[in-house]
Amino acid sequence: MKKNSFSLLILMLACFTFIVNKVNGQLPTNRKTVFLPGNIPVYFIRVEQGSFLMGTKLSETGSQPDEAPQHKVTISREFYLGQYEVTQSQWQAVLGENPSVFKHNGISGDLPVEMVSWNDIQLFLQKLNSFGIGIFRLPTEAEWEYACRAGGSDRFPWGNDPEYKFLGEYAWFYSRAEGKSHPVGQKKPNAWGLYDMQGNVWEWCVDWYGKYPADSITDPKGVEHGNEHIIRGGSWFNEPEALRSANRHRHPVDSRQTNIGFRLILEQ
Amino acid sequence: MKTRLILLISFSFSFMSWGHEVEYQNDSIISIEINSGVPMHFRWIKPGVFLMGTPGIEEGRDPDEGPLHEVTISKGFYMGINEVTQAQWKAVTDSNPSVFQQGKIPFDRPVESVSWEDCIRFIKILNKKGIGLFRLPTEAEWEYACRAGSETPFYWGNEKNPALVSSYAWGNSWSYATTHPVGQKLPNAWGLYDMSGNVWEWCSDWYGDYIENQQTDPTGPLNGTEKVFRGGSWYDFPVSLRSGNRHRHVPDRPFTSIGLRLVMEKEVPR
């Protein structure tokens, strides 16, 4: 009898924990879901307005000259950022084709779309915005880095990780012989619930590539003109240092690569 | 035009810096037609002796690359000048498992996403065509042909700077995260292309530890769980493109960075 009531207590406790987790873990209030044709969901996470230090001090291990000067950036309005990289099913749902090199192959999970140029994405956005389900765009470089850092100021959102002990828990990056992209959302998210900000595929930003301003700035949109657009976050192809939150890279507008994709912003 | 000029310059530069000479033997090339319009070219590799493996001081060396040991290749053989292409694979099996089929001339790219077992099946079908007897190279044949007389980390010398490596091999940081049509880079001293980079190449050997003694025509351990592949790929950094670098995987798993190169045993007279 005593043993039984003890078991019951444990069972009730387990149920209670489960329910609490369910309430806390499922359907967070900071998430929005939009449905594409064919009932394909796209998830967005609300990112609050705030300020952060963009770029690096050049003392950061692995930092590049174009990540400096470190400067204060204010994001004056909250925004909704894609919780995952745009997937092949999502691209297919909008444009009816899939340009990616790495195809499903019957494996469960949705791979990020790649082989899409910055220009291709403008066509995708045009079509997507014609559906009347919301106004979508690419993130600015500042929005991207703000959301990637998720309040952190270290090399990675989870810390400096000098020996890359934790990188593998959060990101897909170079690993001998394994040359391919991976289904989105298989690794741990950052503190704000965003997946694959580091690794898997690079993500196009709206900005032209250019020098950072030295002074504090609000809602920066990058330089006025340029030859190449910003990509961020590193990919399955890159060494760990390219995955640092502040790392910047760029490609021409019509460049299609097997390791570059993107993430959406849903405008209010 | 511009790229050609750069190629020419880097080629002559390589002559100056390491005194490389491409030692093409006479009548050393054989061309086989798999199907009409799909040729495959082989180059005669003479018998010889070489040091297999890497010395302890080599930068980036893995322990399994030693001990350095003397290997005699007692019989010459025909080595594929290029990695097997998607067109060649398709001509034999009527299928193409490769991931990198994008672009205008996809079928000149090396076949990849083929397991070791897939390669053995490919060779079986090819051998039934009556145009020759083909097989995978042994690990020793592969390294002998790759080194082409060199004892440096790479067949082009010691240079591991991507700016220079990129004239000889497709590797990470300059491959644009994809394979490339075969034969676009400079060949080694025996006229073989892409021995380093583009795709790794399956060998016939099981993976095992090297034996210290002098050996003749080694074929690797009798049994094992993993097959050897060599040469590094579009996905790998220069350290993996070294002639002595070894890697291995189970025989039934395909990878986007692994393909193959064939050895031709003998030609059937036609």
pLDDT of A103: 87
CB contact under 8 A, B256 and A179: yes
In B10-127, the DSSP E strands lie at 29-35, 38-45, 48-52, 69-73, 77-80
CB contact under 8 A, A179 and B257: yes
The sheet carrying A71-75 orders its strands as A50-54, A71-75, A217-218
**Contacts B176 to A, Cβ<8 Å:** 257-258
User: ipTM > 0.90?
Assistant: no
Q: How far apart (Å, rounded) are the C-alpha atoms in residues A166 and A155? A: 12
Strands A265-267 and A79-82: antiparallel
Alpha helices in chain B (DSSP H): 2-18, 86-93, 116-127, 139-147, 162-165
**Contacts A258 to B, Cβ<8 Å:** 100, 102, 176-178
pLDDT of B125: 97
**Contacts B253 to A, Cβ<8 Å:** none
CB contact under 8 A, B99 and A101: yes
Q: How far apart (Å, rounded) are the C-alpha atoms in residues A260 and B64? A: 35
Q: Give the chain B residue nearest A260 (alpha carbons).
A: B177
CB contact under 8 A, A101 and B233: no
Q: Does the beta carbon of B239 lie under 8 angstroms from any beta carbon of chain A?
A: no
Q: CB-CB: which of B102, B177, B236 is closest to A176?
A: B236
Cα angle at B111 between B52 and B178, to 5 degrees?
A: 90
The Cα of B176 is separated from the nearest Cα of chain A by a number of Å equal to 7
Residue A226, H or E segment: none
Q: CB-CB: which of B99, B176, B258 is closest to A102?
A: B99
Q: How far apart (Å, rounded) are the C-alpha atoms in residues A90 and A41? A: 8
Give φ, ψ of B106 to 5 degrees.
Answer: -65, -30
Q: How far apart (Å, rounded) are the C-alpha atoms in residues A137 and A206? A: 8
Report whether A212 contacts A130 (CB < 8 A). no
Q: How far apart (Å, rounded) are the C-alpha atoms in residues B113 and B234? A: 13
Give whole-number Cα distances, B107 to B63, B181, B221, in Å: 37, 8, 35
**Contacts B247 to A, Cβ<8 Å:** 176-177
CB contact under 8 A, A176 and B101: no
Q: CB-CB: which of A174, A177, A256 is closest to B172?
A: A174
B129: Cβ contacts below 8 Å, ≥ 6 apart: B34, B92
Which parts of chain B sit beneath pLDDT 70? 1-27, 267-270
Residue A252: asked if its preceding bond is cis (omega within 30°), the reply is: no
Q: Give the chain A residue nearest B256 (alpha carbons).
A: A179
Q: Does the beta carbon of B256 lie under 8 angstroms from any beta carbon of chain A?
A: yes
Report whether B143 contacts B245 (CB < 8 A). no
Q: Does the beta carbon of B241 lie under 8 angstroms from any beta carbon of chain A?
A: no
The Cα of A241 is separated from the nearest Cα of chain B by a number of Å equal to 13
> Tell me, what DSSP letter sits at residue B154?
B
Q: How far apart (Å, rounded) are the C-alpha atoms in residues B64 and B201? A: 18
pLDDT of A7: 57
Q: Does the beta carbon of B207 lie under 8 angstroms from any beta carbon of chain A?
A: no
> Tell me, what DSSP letter sits at residue B59?
T
Q: How far apart (Å, rounded) are the C-alpha atoms in residues A13 and A63? A: 49
Report whether A205 contacts A229 (CB < 8 A). yes
**Contacts B258 to A, Cβ<8 Å:** 177
Strands A79-82 and A40-47: antiparallel
Q: Does the beta carbon of B174 lie under 8 angstroms from any beta carbon of chain A?
A: no
The Cα of A174 is separated from the nearest Cα of chain B by a number of Å equal to 8
Q: How far apart (Å, rounded) are the C-alpha atoms in residues B261 and B85? A: 9
What residue type is assigned to position B237 of the chain? Answer: F
pTM exceeding 0.80: yes
Report whether B228 contacts B244 (CB < 8 A). no
The sheet carrying B69-73 orders its strands as B48-52, B69-73, B215-216
Strands B200-206 and B258-259: parallel
pLDDT of A5: 59
Give whole-number Cα distances, B92 to A260, B35, B86, B126, in Å: 34, 8, 10, 6
User: Per-block average pLDDT, block size 10, for chain A (268 residues)?
Assistant: 53 48 56 96 97 94 95 97 97 95 74 98 98 97 98 96 96 88 96 98 98 97 96 97 98 98 94
Q: How far apart (Å, rounded) are the C-alpha atoms in residues A162 and A244? A: 11
CB contact under 8 A, A258 and B177: yes
Q: Does the beta carbon of B179 lie under 8 angstroms from any beta carbon of chain A?
A: no
* pLDDT tens profile B11-38: 333 333 343 444 444 468 999 999 889 9
Q: How far apart (Å, rounded) are the C-alpha atoms in residues A259 and A116? A: 10
**Contacts A181 to B, Cβ<8 Å:** none
Pick from B205, B194, B166: nearest CA to B81: B194
Q: What is the torsional sign of CA A79, A80, A81, A83?
A: positive
In B104-255, the DSSP E strands lie at 133-135, 200-206, 215-216, 227-230, 246-249
* A/B interface, count of CB pairs below 8 Å: 50
* pLDDT tens profile B69-112: 999 999 999 999 999 999 999 999 999 999 999 988 779 999 99
Q: Give the chain B residue nearest A100 (alpha carbons).
A: B102
CB contact under 8 A, A101 and B100: yes
pLDDT of B8: 37
Task: Please state at what angle helix A88-95 crosses helix A118-129, rounded to 10 degrees.
Answer: 60
